[in-house]
Amino acid sequence: MRVPPDPLPGEPLLPEPDDAARETLGRVVAGLREQAHEHGNRLHGVAGLLALDDVAAARRALEEQAREQHERFEAITSRVAVPELVGVLVATSVVAARRGIRVTLEDAVALDALPDGLDALAVATVLGRLVDDACAAVASLAEDRRWVRVGVAVADDAVRLVVVDGRLPDPALRRRWTTDRRRRGRGATVRVQHDVEPSATTTTALVRR
């Protein structure tokens, strides 16, 4: 029987603490850089509209920018209260948006805190990797397939991360499968399932104390 490939080849899913901090910080910085680029670009455009004396269009562009920013940020901060996860979600959605990929939270998400003893940076890193992986998978697909939905939920002493993306089924991945990785001294277990639904691909990670 064919064994499905590892969804994150070559990378252990759960990083060492220092690596998690570095990786998550890197992801957030990339998001900030992208955001600064986007803002700079938009302001350049607005300045151009004003130079063309099109005040109405300049105003529309500024309002749209403000609305987009607010919606993007508000949609995440109103439902996730863990700063590390907010940082990664905002950053990955900003970077993805520039590549024409929509990253959104599932409607049901409402996360006040992680279970006691669970390292927020480790969770943020796993989440960042799953979202990056999903974005990379849909980046070259048609526009209506370039989307990623993220679910985050606490289940007893664990947190369940569910990332659904617009990939169509891959027969090689049709079988449900699981990998477990344990690290001595880290107190966490990650379980990944790679499900293929009729019209989307779901990856689930369970990060446990």
Partner 1 sequence: MTEPWRTLIVEDDPVVADVQRRLVDRSAGFATVGIAPTTADARRLLALKRPQLVLLDLGLPDGDGLELLRAMRRADRPVEVVAITAARDRATVRDCMHLGVVDYLVKPFAPERLQEALVRFRDRMVTLRATELDQDGIDAVAGTRGIPDLLPRDLSGDTLDEVRGLLRGLAPEEALTAGDVAAALGLHRVTARRYLEYLVTLQEVDAEALAVGPGRPRKTYRLRDLPGAGGAPA
* Residue 208 · residue 189 · CB < 8 Å: yes
CB of 92 to partner 1, least distance (A): 14
Query: What are the tokens at 116?
Result: 């006691």
d(CA 117, CA 157): 9
* Residue 121 · residue 84 · CB < 8 Å: yes
* Residue 24 · residue 88 · CB < 8 Å: yes
**Footprint on residues 112-141 left by partner 1 (CB under 8 A):** 139
Q: Report the residue from 1, 2, 3, 51 that binds partner 1 according to the rule CB under 8 A.
A: 51
Q: Report the residue from 2, 3, 9, 44 that binds partner 1 according to the rule CB under 8 A.
A: 44
Per CB under 8 A, 57 contacts partner 1: yes
The CA-based diameter of the chain, rounded to the nearest angstrom, is 68
Letters for 164-193 (x = contact with partner 1 by CB under 8 A, - = none) are ------------------------------
Q: Report the residue from 12, 100, 117, 187 that binds partner 1 according to the rule CB under 8 A.
A: 100
Q: Report the residue from 29, 32, 43, 155 that binds partner 1 according to the rule CB under 8 A.
A: 43
Per CB under 8 A, 46 contacts partner 1: yes
Query: What are the tokens at 8?
Result: 């994150």
DSSP 5: P
